[in-house]
Structure 1
Amino acid sequence: MAQYPTPAGGASLLLSFKLKKHVVVIVGSNTLAASRAFAALEADSTVVVVANAGLDSACEELRWRADKGQLSIVDLNRLPCSVERAVDRDAQALDDYLGSLGQVRLVCVTDTLLSGDAGIRRTRTSAQLIAHACRLRNIPLNVTDMPDLCDFSFLSTHRFQDHEAGTPSSLQVGVTTNGQGCRLASRLRRDIVAALPKEVGGAVANVAQLRIDAELNEEAGPSTPNLPVAQRCADETAGERARRRMKWVAQVSEYWPIPKLAKMTSEDMAGVLDGQNSLLTNSTVSTVARGRIFLVGSGPGHPSLLTVATRDALTKHADLVLSDKLVPAAVLAIIPSHVEVRIARKFPGNADYGQAELMEAAIDAARRGLTVVRLKQGDPSVYGRAGEEILYFRERGFEPIVVPGVSSVLAGPTFAGIPVTQRGAAESFIVCTGVGRGGKQVQLPGYVRSRTLVILMGVARLQEMLDTLLAESGEPATRRDGVAFPACTPMAIVERASMPDQRVTLSTIRDIAAALESGGEQRPPGMIVVGWSIMSLWGKGDVSVLEPGAPERDEARIQAWLGEQRWRIVDGLDNGWANL
């Protein structure tokens, strides 16, 4: 039986409510009530403020909103009460009023605020009676400063603006500490907002338009960015077209820098979705001096891992940067604003078109005398198509300058705490790709106990990889050159290596699929590492796997490493990288 994480109580179920045509009742008329009212109004709800003395006691903002017809204010003292000599007239009158409204979605009590005037602050007994009435009517309740009476709490939220349009964006972020530090939640929310580009609201609006233009629908299936999709063909069906275009939108959302998403024009959107060479100019060969083409590696992702040569190419020499989609925004951010940047449109089913488009654009620009930097993640010669680009450019009269980069083959495992070689655990390593040209299957290496296997671009085809590694016979075994891997062999998936949101999933071949599924959405790009070096530096380390008789202790070794959970997921980078 698969082992899944044990729920740890104390968290909240974070939801975003649609409140259109529903009533939100706010008890109290202070500035906090005004804040709650504004949030409810932005969620398209009907807001009713109920307060002792009604409009006369309302704060300035509530009176202004009532005057504009945005909400209504009801005097609690004037509401009829069905029970004479009620224990608490306010609670009983409010209960009667809630029954008369219908479609009440939420109730917020704000006049229990500790910082309010002690003379008019609602008592705990009164708040408890209101809570009892709401629960009898199945209406969720929030009571300020009395968390034990609350069915829900408010997050510290921020709604972004679409700066280009000058209107509020549909993007919101919220932070909660589940009542353990409201001030800290506000600070964390501010830090998150400050860290995001100001254009993020416009980016959301443009992606929403892309989804509409791509004709996304439920029949197109899920939008996981890296799941395989059939190669594009001239006679594709409407369903195939919808699935392909959905993939493109998903990958644009995943890979493109936020500022670029925000600045997309309608023509740019059409170009992304049609997969044609609409971004290219029809320049003719001129008599200007010939330009240069650099093939440059950007490393695994973290900007501090750029080589000096790569940084100089991007910041001092480039007139045009043609970037692969996997190069992160943090690297593209160092490119001066006057340098044009184009992102590859090599989305599922369109890889060959996107590749040809960039190579043609490089030749076109170089013939016009420009210096072109063809920017690739990792090292351009390690599954980066550098070879075919070199031959393509050479055939057209340009000898590209190749600038090596730090390869993710080595950097990715290192950031995950995995040495690809380690005395006593791995004497060699081998690297391969998980997908061949045109999406074809590839031949994987067989099991060698003293060797680490690194598979790039294979996470999307994980189950296929596992079948090939484990098969003793049949068709999957023919896709492997060598003996089958033991099911207990350690396996790791490293996603977004070297980036702040890096995630490492550690398990064995038999459990890695369930482990990855338990972690939620994929974080492309990802790589797979297989072999005993994975656990060699964990805790006190284990460098005894190559000793005589070691295989007999493998299951016990895995048990000591992973315990009963059978997998481990590690999020984020070591804090030491934060300031580099």
Structure 2
Amino acid sequence: MPSLLASLISTGETHLVIGYSNVASIRITSIIESGASPILITNKGTIFTPSVQQYQEDGKLEIIYDDLKIDNIRNSLKTLGREEVDGIVDRVFVSLPSGCHLLKKQIFETCKKLRIPINTSDSPEFCTFTLLASYTSGDFQMGVTTSGKGCRLASRIKRELANSLPPDIGAICNKIGELRKAIQKEDQLQLESIGEHDDDAVNSHKFNTFVPEFNASEEHLKLQRTRWLAQIVEYYPLKKLATLSITDLTNAYHDHKENPTPTKKQKLSRKGQLTLVGSGPGSVSLLTLGALQAIHTADLVLADKLVPQQVLDIIPRKTELFIARKFPGNAEKAQEELLSLGITALNEGKNVIRLKQGDPYIFGRGGEEFNYFKDQGFTPTVIPGITSALAAPVLSNIPATHRDVADQVLICTGTGRRGAIPTLPEFIKSRTTVFLMTLHRVVEFIPKLIEQKGWDPKLPVAIIERASCPDQRVIRTTLSKVADAVEACGSRPPGLLVTGYACEVIFKNEDAKEWTVEEGCNVDFDETFDSIVKLVGSSASPEPVAPVHVTPQITV
């Protein structure tokens, strides 16, 4: 059974350490660093490490020499603590030899009666809490536990995870905290969409609540900056978060006015090249070889915010990267900004890659961008991408077509021009319908399907989020329960909704649950990508890859 993980505030507490060992020495250091006061009870004649001796000399550690007998220990548990809690110690750490099994058990039972949290080294059966292998950088803390199965393994995993983090992760935490406070103060808004706790931004079903871009109320306008901050924390590369400022959040509203999109063809000094590239649903291994080559030959990459970190990581360091500032209620202005940046770079003769999530022409505005750049004198090359509308069902064991069940597939959007709900399709029993850009408005969307278009409320559906990524999630339910499932499970964008009887061809809800949740992707895409880069004689490092001669490019 998984433990309930928590970050405990121990400032001012009194922690009792019973018995001395190398583990006890480490515990004493952790207690002091947490702001608590340790008291060590041990036998006379114990030899301490220099660090423990120094703690005692500095007045940071009190050492009591006493016989380690249960009666003495029980008295210490009730009398050595703070006056405000009637002398009961706040936390207990036991570090006794393996032969002291009975004494460990007695201490554990006494602590349980007194409701004192206790940790016993090498005896998980006598613990009410365990310590994590932790990594700290500023206000950022990360902990790993194996639930007592092996501290060395937990430490190894912690090191591996820490090495994958930006070195300034502490500064990133400080920056985001400053931005949240500044927005809260300026907009006088309770930041429910960002979250007061670590998991809120991921788990809150309000993360993707629809924010109108046109004719917005004053309250909606206030939401724009908070929602954008929540979304860039979720989507942007961690390395970029440390450089954000409150000015960035504000200027995004005004930059489009200062840098209007060119409307007339400009004289060109030398011809730049533009490629519209589909990055696929998320995993690097689902990039086409053409997309991989294009990314590594670009001077400038203009990326959508939904392009995942693992894809952005393969962009060479020398390549300039700009990520669309499409926070809620600002999509049109952010699009204008991208187009303007692209034209400027093309007029400078640069090789520009417009990197788009999924496929450029499946609700990716690829056709609009193609026509815009063509009118400016630059005819793009288009590299297709695997759309999540087709990949996500496969990765969720949903055959979009299946004999005698589904003979057609329809891909729709739940968000039309200027944020309106588009024309909704009629219900056809033999059709699998995939809705993109819909989950943020299911509360108003689903009733229209059922009441106006005659859709079956019991139709099996699947919410698929972060398809092909390690944290892929599939929520299986029925049409009428979609809104309840989203509210209960939270939001993990980007996601889509698959509807139709094909959803139950392989998966059968035999327990008749209102919804089920499946975590993780069933394909090891990291291993697949490693095989790909070996095949093309390249690597996923930030250096340009060798040209790939067989490239599935389509020049339109």
- The offset of 1:445, in angstroms, is 0.7
- The offset of 1:345, in angstroms, is 0.5
- The offset of 1:183, in angstroms, is 4.1
Given candidates 467, 471, 493, the residue that maps to 1:524 is: 493
Match of 1:388, SS? helix
Q: Tell me the residue number matched to 2:374.
A: 394
Structure 2 vs 1, CA of residues 218 and 133 (structure 1 numbering), >3 Å: closer, same or farther?
Answer: farther
Distance 2:422 2:377 in 1: 33
Distance 2:171 2:223 in 1: 25
| Higher relative contact order, chain-length normalized (CA < 8 Å, sep 6+) | 2
Deviations 1:351-371 (A, max 9, x none): 111111111111111112212
Q: Structure 1 length as normaliser, TM-score?
A: 0.80
Distance 1:261 1:59 in 2: 41
Q: What does 1:189-338 align with in structure 2 at a 5 Å threshold?
A: 189-215=158-184, 219-223=190-194, 224-231=206-213, 237=218, 239-262=219-242, 264=243, 266=245, 269-276=246-253, 288-316=269-297, 318-338=298-318
Q: Tell me the residue number matched to 1:58.
A: 48
Structure 2 residues not aligned, in runs of 5+:
195-205, 529-556
Structure 2 vs 1, CA of residues 99 and 319 (structure 1 numbering), >3 Å: closer, same or farther?
Answer: closer
Moved more, 499-508 or 390-399: 390-399
- The offset of 1:180, in angstroms, is 3.9
Q: What does 1:11-410 align with in structure 2 at a 5 Å threshold?
A: 11-53=2-44, 57-69=47-59, 71-77=60-66, 88-98=71-81, 102=85, 106-114=90-98, 123-159=100-136, 168-215=137-184, 219-223=190-194, 224-231=206-213, 237=218, 239-262=219-242, 264=243, 266=245, 269-276=246-253, 288-316=269-297, 318-410=298-390
Match of 1:177, SS? coil
Structure 2 vs 1, CA of residues 137 and 90 (structure 1 numbering), >3 Å: closer, same or farther?
Answer: closer
- The offset of 1:201, in angstroms, is 3.8
Structure 2 vs 1, CA of residues 76 and 454 (structure 1 numbering), >3 Å: closer, same or farther?
Answer: same
Structure 2 vs 1, CA of residues 281 and 156 (structure 1 numbering), >3 Å: closer, same or farther?
Answer: same
Distance 2:386 2:461 in 1: 23
- The offset of 1:76, in angstroms, is 3.6
The 8 Å contact of residues 493 and 529 in structure 1, kept in 2 or not, is answered as yes
Distance 1:98 1:401 in 2: 72
Distance 1:182 1:220 in 2: 38
Deviations 1:306-351 (A, max 9, x none): 12221121102x1111100000111111111000101111011111
Given candidates 471, 496, 510, the residue that maps to 1:501 is: 471
Distance 1:196 1:374 in 2: 27
Distance 2:433 2:47 in 1: 72
Distance 2:107 2:509 in 1: 53
- The offset of 1:93, in angstroms, is 4.1
The 8 Å contact of residues 51 and 73 in structure 1, kept in 2 or not, is answered as no
- The offset of 1:291, in angstroms, is 1.4
- The offset of 1:24, in angstroms, is 2.4
Structure 1 residues not aligned, in runs of 5+:
1-9, 80-85, 160-167, 472-476, 539-559
The 8 Å contact of residues 56 and 63 in structure 2, kept in 1 or not, is answered as no
- The offset of 1:410, in angstroms, is 1.1
Match of 1:510, SS? helix
- The offset of 1:129, in angstroms, is 4.4
1:568 correspondence with 2:513 = no
Moved more, 175-184 or 221-230: 175-184
The 8 Å contact of residues 319 and 372 in structure 1, kept in 2 or not, is answered as yes
Deviations 1:546-572 (A, max 9, x none): xxxxxxxxxxxxxx5442324322211
The 8 Å contact of residues 170 and 204 in structure 1, kept in 2 or not, is answered as yes
Match of 2:225, SS? helix
Match of 1:98, SS? coil
Distance 1:106 1:66 in 2: 20
Distance 2:526 2:456 in 1: 38
Structure 2 vs 1, CA of residues 99 and 433 (structure 1 numbering), >3 Å: closer, same or farther?
Answer: closer
Structure 2 vs 1, CA of residues 575 and 372 (structure 1 numbering), >3 Å: closer, same or farther?
Answer: closer
Alpha carbon RMSD of aligned pairs, Å? 3.0
The 8 Å contact of residues 430 and 452 in structure 1, kept in 2 or not, is answered as yes
The 8 Å contact of residues 260 and 340 in structure 2, kept in 1 or not, is answered as no
The 8 Å contact of residues 144 and 154 in structure 2, kept in 1 or not, is answered as yes
Deviations 1:403-459 (A, max 9, x none): 221111211111111122222211111111011122212221111011111100111
Structure 2 vs 1, CA of residues 531 and 24 (structure 1 numbering), >3 Å: closer, same or farther?
Answer: same
Question: Partner amino acid for 1:524?
Answer: P
The 8 Å contact of residues 214 and 242 in structure 1, kept in 2 or not, is answered as no
| Number of aligned residue pairs | 510
Q: Tell me the residue number matched to 2:199.
A: none
Distance 2:182 2:171 in 1: 16
Match of 2:2, SS? coil
The 8 Å contact of residues 271 and 278 in structure 1, kept in 2 or not, is answered as no
Deviations 1:62-107 (A, max 9, x none): 22233344x222224399xxxxxx9633443453323768476632
Deviations 1:449-485 (A, max 9, x none): 11111100111112222212211xxxxx1xx4xxx11
Distance 1:265 1:531 in 2: 43
Distance 2:387 2:122 in 1: 53
Distance 1:41 1:252 in 2: 36
Distance 1:572 1:428 in 2: 28
Distance 1:433 1:420 in 2: 17
The 8 Å contact of residues 193 and 230 in structure 2, kept in 1 or not, is answered as no
Query: What percentage of aligned pairs have identical amino acids?
Result: 34
Question: Partner amino acid for 2:371?
Answer: L
Distance 2:303 2:70 in 1: 71
Given candidates 512, 527, 536, the residue that maps to 1:579 is: 527
- The offset of 1:240, in angstroms, is 4.2
The 8 Å contact of residues 30 and 59 in structure 1, kept in 2 or not, is answered as no
Deviations 1:374-395 (A, max 9, x none): 1100111111112222232233
Structure 2 vs 1, CA of residues 437 and 104 (structure 1 numbering), >3 Å: closer, same or farther?
Answer: farther
The 8 Å contact of residues 14 and 82 in structure 2, kept in 1 or not, is answered as no
- The offset of 1:220, in angstroms, is 4.0
Deviations 1:125-153 (A, max 9, x none): 44444445544543222222333332222
The 8 Å contact of residues 492 and 529 in structure 1, kept in 2 or not, is answered as yes
Q: Tell me the residue number matched to 1:165.
A: none
The 8 Å contact of residues 17 and 95 in structure 2, kept in 1 or not, is answered as no
The 8 Å contact of residues 295 and 386 in structure 1, kept in 2 or not, is answered as yes
Moved more, 486-495 or 279-288: 279-288
Structure 2 vs 1, CA of residues 232 and 65 (structure 1 numbering), >3 Å: closer, same or farther?
Answer: farther
Match of 2:363, SS? coil
Q: What does 1:466-505 align with in structure 2 at a 5 Å threshold?
A: 466-471=446-451, 477=452, 480=453, 484-505=454-475
The 8 Å contact of residues 94 and 118 in structure 2, kept in 1 or not, is answered as no
